[in-house]
Each structure stands twice: as C-alpha cells, then as structure tokens.
Amino acid sequence: MQICFVCDGNTCRSVFAEKLFAKMLKTNGISGISVISRGLNVTAESKTNENVIELLKKFGVTYKGKKAQKLTNKVLTTTNLFITMTSHQKNYIKAKNVYSLGELAGGEDIDDPYGKGYDAYEYMAQKVSEYLNVLINKLKNMKELQ
C-alpha cells in the first residue's frame, strides 16, 4: 500500500507528514506501507523548507531535504490513499480514497506555515504529529483485529 501526503507546495506540511509518518510506521513495527508526498502547486525551484528540516530533527528524523514534487497523473493512478492537509485540497484532487488529515484524526485543517514565523512551523509540526499518532493507533488496532 502506498500513502501520499499532499499540500500546496510540497515544501512544508506534506514533507513533514511523510517523513514523520514513515518513522512512526517503522517504530511501531507496521510494514507494507510506503509513504510519499506531493504538492498541488509546485514551482521548479522549490525545496524543503529549512524550518521543516530542523523540526524533523526535533522529532528524531534526520533529513536533508528534497526538491518539491508535483502531484502527477501517474501518482494519482498508482497510490492507494491520499491524505491532504486541508479539506480544500481534498476537494481539489480527483481520485478515490482522498481524506484530509484532520478528517481522519477527528481534528481541523493544518494551516500552511509558509512565510510565517517559526512558531507557525512549530504549531504545524505539533498538530501533524498529534494527528499522525491517531492514525498510527488506528492502524495498530486494525492489525490487532487480524
């Protein structure tokens, strides 16, 4: 199974979610799931935001960053589940199995911290982490039922 986290630029929220969720899956012994991230409006020169790289370190993830990647038709046809950061992004994607992270975790949309102060990035990281923990617990419960 492949999960794709989606945000606008693939420089902040979706990258953070991708890398942290991959670590959480491994830490919790959940296998068979690959994780990627993409953006809806990627510009050629975009890359992972430095604040995101620093915050990932605080969550125990070593990551040097990457060039932002756009959500393509190929990804739309080969991915099992899409998790967006906002309900607006969810409604934009024309594919089956699209949910917002807040919707899956019983919370709210994850606002874009881009261009805001470091506090906005920290808030984003805390919310994404909290919501991903909810998803991990749901996956663990599903695994226990099998």
pLDDT band at 92 (very low <50, low <70, confident <90, very high): very high
Instruction: Say if CB 18 and CB 35 are below 8 A apart.
Output: yes
pLDDT band at 143 (very low <50, low <70, confident <90, very high): low
CATH superfamily, domain at 2-145: Response regulator (3.40.50.2300)
pLDDT of residue 28: 94
pLDDT of residue 94: 80
CA distance 6 to 1: 16
Sign of the dihedral defined by the CA atoms of residues 100, 134, 139, 14, in that order: positive
Query: In angstroms, what CA-CA distances link 33 with 74, 89, 129, 132?
Result: 18, 22, 18, 14
What residue spans define the domains of the chain?
2-145
Backbone angles phi, psi at 109, to 5 degrees: -60, 155
pTM above 0.85, yes or no: yes
pLDDT band at 144 (very low <50, low <70, confident <90, very high): low
